[in-house]
Amino acid sequence: KERYNIYSCTKLITCTAALMLLEKDMIRLDDAVHEYLPEFKHMKKMTDGTIENVKNTMTLRHLFTMTAGLTYNVDSENIKRGIAETGGLMPTREAMKYIACDPLSFEPGSSWLYSLCHDVLGAVIEVASGRRFGEFVKENIFDPAGMKRSTFLLPEEELPEISAQYRYDSKSGQYDLCSPETQICKFGSAYESGG
């Protein structure tokens, strides 16, 4: 049986998991992100090439709605540093310490940008539930739904089971076959991307 990546469809699963915690009153939409992930307390933003302090507190609502000011800059120097410093593991919760170092692109709540918001929400789920993100989803969503082969971290020995994937190269106008390991938002072997 072939396996396949569902990429951003994981966002629905992440939000469902977070809503389960909301129903149990373990999190609230207007909670500050830094209540769960302290590294998000003193955020900066980039405005016209200048770094400034943000005025608005980033909340869980901002993470749900992609209005936190985060980006999809997966090649940032801070993320590369995190990969190096964690020996290529980059566990989800640990990764937040590096993601939070990058300046936001706007004040939280003032605009919208498709971004790493749901990855950060996955880390909030870890902290609020006291379980690894993937374990929480497996126990509360995948197992009850009978999704026995779904996971956020496919073991290395099962990577060959991933179906062929292609990426369009706009320069050549061709579709290139990617290796099964190709995932631009998987920062490390222990990183469970909520988005």
Catalytic residues: 8
Residues 16, 13: Cα–Cα separation, whole Å: 5
The kind and range of the H/E element at 79 are: helix 77-85
Give residues with Cβ within 8 angstroms of 136, minimum separation 6.
Answer: 17, 125, 126, 129
Q: Which two tokens stand for residue 172?
A: 């050549």
Classify residue 73 by burial, with Cβ atoms within 10 Å: 0-12, 13-18, 19+: middle
Task: Calculate the alpha carbon distances from 54 to 26, 34, 44, 70, 177 in Å.
Answer: 27, 13, 5, 12, 42
Distance of CA 113 to the CA centre of its chain: 14
The three-state secondary structure class of 51 is: strand
The kind and range of the H/E element at 113 are: none
